[in-house]
């Protein structure tokens, strides 16, 4: 049985970053995701879009129709698809989709139940709404970036996980599913304005709450979750590899001390922040006495809250990940994260790899009510592009 969203159809106006990630999640969970691609152009010189499009993972599980959305006939083709869809997702700057004739007003005139998901960095409103930006800029504005990294160096970019994917794409998925649930009651769709600045700020809720209570310092590496505490951090081992320790609760902290043979009374004052630098130094020296594998043999699987720091090449082969199927090998042989979360009655299946641009153009237009002759006329006029349906 396909995933729990097998009844949904999503129209994705192709882009990069958090919008495609949100659509990957929806496709992983069983939704039919139709990506509206631009017409293929001349070979590019390998810019960012080439790096992030059709990578076989974030773009997996789609159908593809290639359309010239600057041609009214192309816009009409997309609107016909929208008429029978449940969701549309776009990630343009505010106003761009509207100028194309594919904004919320035009789409919901064809389909009043449509949930229209808008993914941006700054949001649909505000003084920065029209400015360019990327993940790093959005999490900088939220207070999240300032809190990350060592105190004596600039804030450390957390890849693009906090803005693009956590505060962006995942928040958009939540918003879309919430709007769909409401539409079942009201019969009306609505616009979901998902902004990475909003989402990154939301992810910082615990830290803002702790700061309001006086339990969080507004500076890097000064708190129990940001690398200051000796019981919550990473340590280099004798072989140059790393381990992670997260023994926050007293019972777990005691087990860490016992298993490591630590009898120094200074370690009994776990929450004496003034002693943290000295205790961290002692733990650094201790962890350098054994290899990472040796520490794993001693601590992994215990309540000491321990795990090795694995590289991306190592992670898929770890016994726990292998047992759960956390990583899978796709039909193209690429090792990739499996769909998540897990469902006991409607389990998600690994979607097909990313489609060739325009691979489903003819089939999708036929489904939208176009006659075969009309489809060929659109192809001949360059309004749409139909590739061989090879994946």
CB 346 within 8 A of CB 4: yes
Render 293-320 in DSSP notation, one character per residue. HHHHHHHTTSTT-EEE---TTTGGGSHH
Kindly state the tokens that stand for 167. Answer: 């505060």
User: What pairs with residue 63 in β-bridges?
Assistant: 34
CA distance linking residue 350 with residue 368, whole number of Å: 27
Q: What is the DSSP letter of 55?
A: -
CA 82 to CA 91: how far, in whole Å? Answer: 16
User: Which of 55, 134, 193, 374 does the annotation list as catalytic?
Assistant: 134
Rounded Cα distance between 353 and 58, Å, is 9
Confirm whether 7 is a catalytic residue: no
Strands 62-67 and 32-37: parallel
Element (H, E) at 233: strand 232-236
Is residue 139 within 8 A of residue 133, CB to CB? The reply is no
Q: Which residue is catalytic, options 135, 164, 198, 360?
A: 164
Contact 77, 171 (CB under 8 A): no
Phi, psi of 221 (to 5 degrees): 55, 45
Cβ–Cβ contacts within 10 Å for residue 113, how many?
Answer: 16
State yes or no: is 164 an active-site residue. Answer: yes
Q: Which of 378, 381, 349, 352 is nearest to 35 (CA)?
A: 352
Residues annotated as part of the active site: 134, 164
């Amino acid at each position: 049985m396909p995933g729990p969203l097998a009844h949904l159809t999503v129209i994705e106006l192709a882009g990069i970053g958090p919008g495609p990630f949100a659509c990957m999640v929806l496709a992983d969970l069983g939704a039919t995701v139709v990506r509206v691609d631009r017409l293929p152009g001349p070979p590019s010189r390998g810019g960012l879009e080439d790096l992030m499009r059709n990578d076989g993972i974030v773009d997996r599980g789609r159908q593809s129709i290639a359309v010239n959305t600057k041609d009214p006939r192309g816009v009409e083709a997309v609107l016909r698809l929208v008429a029978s869809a449940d969701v549309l997702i776009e990630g343009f700057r505010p106003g761009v989709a509207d100028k194309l004739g594919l904004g919320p007003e035009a789409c919901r005139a064809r389909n009043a139940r449509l949930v229209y998901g808008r993914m941006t960095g700054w949001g649909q409103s505000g003084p920065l709404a029209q400015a360019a930006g990327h993940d790093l800029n959005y999490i900088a504005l939220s207070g999240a970036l300032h809190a990350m990294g060592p105190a004596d160096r600039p804030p450390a970019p957390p890849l693009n996980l906090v803005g693009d994917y956590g505060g962006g794409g995942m928040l958009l998925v939540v918003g879309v599913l919430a709007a769909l649930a409401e539409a079942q009651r009201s019969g009306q769709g609505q616009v979901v304005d998902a902004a990475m600045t909003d989402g990154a700020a939301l992810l910082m809720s615990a830290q803002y709450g702790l700061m309001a209570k006086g339990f969080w310092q507004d500076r890097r590496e000064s708190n129990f979750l940001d690398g200051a505490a000796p019981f919550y951090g990473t340590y280099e081992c004798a072989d140059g590899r790393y381990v992670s320790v997260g023994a926050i609760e007293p019972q777990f902290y005691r087990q860490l001390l016992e298993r490591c043979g630590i009898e120094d009374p200074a370690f009994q004052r776990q929450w004496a922040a003034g002693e943290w630098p000295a205790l961290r130094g002692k733990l650094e020296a201790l962890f350098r006495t054994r290899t990472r594998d040796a520490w794993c043999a001693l601590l992994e699987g215990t309540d000491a809250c321990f795990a090795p720091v694995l590289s991306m090449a190592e992670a898929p082969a770890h016994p726990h990940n292998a047992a759960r199927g956390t990583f899978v090998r796709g039909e193209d042989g690429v090792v990739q994260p499996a769909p998540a979360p897990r469902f006991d009655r409607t389990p998600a299946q690994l979607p097909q790899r990313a489609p060739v641009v325009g691979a489903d153009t003819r089939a999708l237009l036929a489904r939208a009510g176009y006659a075969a002759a009309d489809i060929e006329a659109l192809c001949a006029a360059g309004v749409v592009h139909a590739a061989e349906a090879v994946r």
